[in-house]
C-alpha cells in the first residue's frame, strides 16, 4: 500500500494548465510541462489500496491501479511502467484523452475527491519514455501466420501490437495518408501532441508491425484480396458515419461535420497547409453538440481566432433546477463536463434545438435559428415562443456517429452481418459471422471511449490468436456478449 495516511494528509491536486491567454496562441498541450512530477508521489499516496478496488473494475482495461499507485508513491518508475503496460498498450493516450471512469469509480470519491489516477498514469508513462525504458518488444519467434488489421486508430493499433508480439506477421491498413486514425486527425494537438503517436508507431515498426497508408479496403483492395493474402483479418475501421442534422439550410456553405473541420486543422499541424481550408478566423462559430468532439471544435476555433464561439447542447444542464438530476456516487457529470477548451471562453447553451440555418444571397451561412426544448411526457419538445437566431458564419456538427462506413463496400464484400444498432455483429471471441474475420473498437461496439477501443483491440487479438493457433496467452479484458 502507498502511504496509509496519504488520503488524510494530502488533498487532490491536478496538473497545472498554462494561462488561457498563452495557450490559445499555440497548439501545444495545455498543461505546464513538468508540472505533474513534483506532486505525483503525494497524489499517488492518497490511494487507500482498497480491498475491493472499484477503480480496477471501473476501467475497461482492468488497469492495476492500486499497484502502480504504490510504485508511483515510491517513485519506482520502472516497476510502475511495467504494471501500467501489463494491461494497457498506450497509457500515454488514455492518460491524456480518457475521461477516466476509474476516477468516477474511486472509493475515495465517496467522501473526498478521488485519487488523480489519470495524472498518475500519464506521469508514469511520460517518465518511462523520457528515461528510455519503453523499448520495442519484438517476438522471439514467428508463427508463420499473417493478419491484416483494417484501421490504425487505438483499437487497430492495440490489436496489431498484441498480435505482432504474439509472433504473427501483421500489416495495418489505413485509408488516410498517415497512421493514427481518429488519434491523428480527430484529436487536436492541444489535447495530445502527435509526437506521442509517432514514437509508438516507431516502437511498433521496430517490433515488426507493418503499416500501409492511403489504402482503403473495399475500394483500393477488396475483401477477397485481403482474405487471399492473410490468414485472419481484424476490422477496426471505426464508426465513421457522422450523425447529420437535416434542418432547412443544411446545404449552405459553412456548415460542416466536425470530422471535416478538425482533420483539416490537424493537417495544418502536420505541415500540409499553412492555414486550414475551413478556418474560424474572424467568424462567429456555432458548434452543435455538447460532447468531447464539440469541445475539440471549440478549442480549435479559439486558436484559429474566431470572433465568437457558441456551443449548443440539446439536453438540459444537469442540476438545472427545472430538470433536477440526482447524482449519487459514483459521480460522473457527463453533460456538464468542463474541458480545457471550455475554460478558454465561449458560451454554452443548453436545452437548445436548431430549427434551421439562414444564409446570404451567395449561399453562405450567416445565422442559426434555435428554440428552447423541454421534456414533456418524456419527450424533448420545443417550447413555443422561445425561437431566436444567433450569428453563425461557421457551424460544425458534432453530434456523434451512427455506425461503420458502408459506402466503401467493406461490409458487403466481406458479407458481414450487422447488429440491431448497425454495428458489425461479433461473438464472444470478437469474430464476425465470417470465420477468420474479427471486429474491434467502434466498428463493433459503436462510438465509445478510447479506453474501450484499446480494450477491444486487446480482446480481439486474443480471439485471433486462438483462431490461428488453437490457444492464446494474450489477455482479454472485455467480452462483447
Please report the DSSP string for 194-262 in residue order.
Answer: THHHHHHHHHHHHHT-EEEES--BTTTB-HHHHHHH-SEEEE-----EE-----TTTTSBTEEEHHHHH
Does position 84 interact with ligand SF4 (CB under 6 A)? The reply is no
Minimum CB separation from ligand SF4 for residue 58, in Å?
Answer: 8
Cell representation of residue 196: 506521442
Minimum CB separation from ligand SF4 for residue 54, in Å?
Answer: 5
CA distance 337 to 291: 8
Does position 55 interact with ligand SF4 (CB under 6 A)? The reply is yes
Does position 439 interact with ligand SF4 (CB under 6 A)? The reply is no
Using the rule CB under 6 A, give the single segment among 13-21, 101-109, 253-261, 319-327 that binds ligand SF4.
101-109
What residues are paired with 375 via a beta bridge? 380
Does position 44 interact with ligand SF4 (CB under 6 A)? The reply is no
Minimum CB separation from ligand SF4 for residue 330, in Å?
Answer: 10
Using the rule CB under 6 A, give the single segment among 103-111, 427-435, 440-448, 463-471 that binds ligand SF4.
103-111
Using the rule CB under 6 A, give the single segment among 100-108, 266-274, 383-391, 445-453 that binds ligand SF4.
100-108
Which of 154, 143, 165 is closest to 230 using CA atoms? 143
- CA–CA distance from 30 to each of 120, 123, 379, 388 (Å)? 17, 15, 39, 35
State which of residues 14, 32, 39, 50 lies at the interface with ligand SF4 (CB under 6 A).
Answer: 50
- Can you tell me whether residue 107 is helix, strand or coil? helix
Using the rule CB under 6 A, give the single segment among 34-42, 43-51, 353-361, 410-418 that binds ligand SF4.
43-51
Minimum CB separation from ligand SF4 for residue 48, in Å?
Answer: 4
CA distance 349 to 107: 33
Residues 108-127 that bind ligand SF4 (CB under 6 A): 108, 115, 117
Which of 257, 299, 296 is closest to 399 using CA atoms? 257
| Residue nearest ligand SF4 by beta-carbon distance | 55
Minimum CB separation from ligand SF4 for residue 337, in Å?
Answer: 20
Minimum CB separation from ligand SF4 for residue 114, in Å?
Answer: 6
Strands 255-257 and 394-397: parallel
Residue 66 vs 291, nearer CB to ligand SF4: 66
Residue 51 vs 470, nearer CB to ligand SF4: 51
Q: Count CB atoms within 10 A of the CB of residue 272.
A: 12
Minimum CB separation from ligand SF4 for residue 453, in Å?
Answer: 23
CA distance 55 to 100: 9
Does position 49 interact with ligand SF4 (CB under 6 A)? The reply is yes
Minimum CB separation from ligand SF4 for residue 72, in Å?
Answer: 11
* CA quadruple 93, 26, 275, 395: dihedral, nearest 10: 70
Using the rule CB under 6 A, give the single segment among 25-33, 45-53, 76-84, 420-428 that binds ligand SF4.
45-53
* CA quadruple 92, 96, 97, 102: dihedral, nearest 10: 90
Minimum CB separation from ligand SF4 for residue 220, in Å?
Answer: 46
Binding-site size for ligand SF4 (CB under 6 A) equals 15
- Determine the Cα angle at 14 with ends 12 and 17, to 5°: 150
What is the DSSP code (8-state) at residue 108? G
Minimum CB separation from ligand SF4 for residue 449, in Å?
Answer: 18
Using the rule CB under 6 A, give the single segment among 64-72, 143-151, 208-216, 313-321 that binds ligand SF4.
64-72
State which of residues 27, 40, 43, 54 lies at the interface with ligand SF4 (CB under 6 A).
Answer: 54
State which of residues 6, 60, 66, 444 lies at the interface with ligand SF4 (CB under 6 A).
Answer: 66
Q: Count CB atoms within 10 A of the CB of residue 34.
A: 10
Please report the DSSP string for 244-258 in residue order.
Answer: ----TTTTSBTEEEH
- CA–CA distance from 256 to each of 98, 113, 252, 253 (Å)? 26, 39, 9, 8
Minimum CB separation from ligand SF4 for residue 108, in Å?
Answer: 4
- Contact positions vs ligand SF4 (CB under 6 A): 47-50, 53-55, 65-66, 69, 106-108, 115, 117
Amino acid at each position: 500500500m502507498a502511504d496509509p495516511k496519504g488520503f488524510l494528509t494530502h488533498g487532490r491536486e491536478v496538473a497545472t494548465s498554462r494561462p488561457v491567454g498563452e495557450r490559445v496562441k499555440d497548439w501545444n498541450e495545455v498543461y505546464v510541462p513538468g508540472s505533474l512530477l513534483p506532486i505525483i508521489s503525494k497524489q499517488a499516496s492518497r490511494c487507500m489500496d482498497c480491498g475491493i478496488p472499484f477503480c480496477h473494475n471501473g476501467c475497461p482495461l482492468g488497469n492495476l491501479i492500486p499497484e502502480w499507485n504504490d510504485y508511483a508513491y515510491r517513485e519506482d518508475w520502472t516497476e510502475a511502467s511495467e504494471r501500467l503496460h501489463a494491461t494497457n498498450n498506450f497509457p500515454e493516450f488514455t492518460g491524456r484523452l480518457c475521461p477516466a471512469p476509474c476516477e468516477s469509480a474511486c472509493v475515495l470519491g465517496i467522501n473526498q475527491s478521488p485519487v488523480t489516477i489519470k495524472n498518475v498514469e500519464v506521469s508514469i508513462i511520460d517518465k518511462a519514455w523520457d528515461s528510455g525504458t519503453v523499448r520495442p518488444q519484438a517476438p522471439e519467434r514467428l508463427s508463420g501466420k499473417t493478419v491484416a488489421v483494417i484501421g490504425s486508430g487505438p483499437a487497430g493499433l492495440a490489436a496489431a501490437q498484441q498480435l505482432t508480439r504474439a509472433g504473427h506477421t501483421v500489416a495495418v491498413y489505413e485509408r488516410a495518408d498517415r497512421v493514427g486514425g481518429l488519434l491523428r486527425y480527430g484529436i487536436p494537438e492541444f489535447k495530445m501532441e502527435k509526437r506521442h503517436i509517432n514514437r509508438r508507431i516507431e516502437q511498433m515498426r521496430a517490433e515488426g508491425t507493418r503499416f500501409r497508408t492511403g489504402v482503403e479496403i473495399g475500394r483500393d483492395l477488396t475483401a477477397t484480396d485481403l482474405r487471399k493474402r492473410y490468414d485472419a483479418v481484424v476490422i477496426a475501421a471505426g464508426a465513421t458515419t457522422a450523425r447529420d442534422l437535416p434542418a432547412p439550410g443544411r446545404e449552405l456553405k459553412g456548415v460542416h461535420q466536425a470530422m471535416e473541420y478538425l482533420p483539416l486543422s490537424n493537417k495544418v499541424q502536420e505541415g500540409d497547409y499553412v492555414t486550414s481550408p475551413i478556418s474560424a478566423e474572424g467568424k462567429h462559430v456555432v458548434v452543435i453538440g455538447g460532447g468531447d468532439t464539440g469541445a475539440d471544435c471549440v478549442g480549435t476555433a479559439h486558436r484559429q481566432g474566431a470572433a465568437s464561439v457558441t456551443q449548443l447542447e440539446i439536453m438540459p444542464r444537469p442540476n438545472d433546477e427545472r430538470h433536477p438530476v440526482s447524482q449519487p456516487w459514483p459521480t460522473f457529470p457527463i453533460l456538464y463536463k468542463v474541458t480545457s477548451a471550455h475554460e478558454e471562453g465561449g458560451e454554452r447553451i443548453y436545452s437548445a434545438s436548431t430549427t434551421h440555418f439562414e444564409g446570404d444571397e451567395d449561399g453562405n451561412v450567416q445565422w442559426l435559428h434555435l428554440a428552447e426544448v423541454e421534456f414533456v411526457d418524456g419527450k424533448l419538445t420545443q417550447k413555443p415562443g422561445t425561437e431566436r437566431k444567433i450569428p453563425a458564419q461557421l457551424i460544425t456538427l458534432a453530434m456523434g456517429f451512427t455506425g461503420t462506413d458502408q459506402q466503401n463496400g467493406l461490409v458487403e464484400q466481406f458479407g458481414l452481418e450487422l447488429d440491431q444498432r448497425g454495428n458489425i455483429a461479433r461473438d464472444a471471441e470478437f469474430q464476425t459471422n465470417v470465420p477468420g474475420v474479427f471486429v474491434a473498437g467502434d466498428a463493433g461496439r459503436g462510438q465509445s471511449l478510447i479506453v474501450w477501443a484499446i480494450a477491444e483491440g486487446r480482446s480481439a487479438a486474443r480471439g485471433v490468436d486462438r483462431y490461428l493457433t488453437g490457444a492464446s496467452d494474450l489477455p482479454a479484458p472485455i467480452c462483447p456478449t
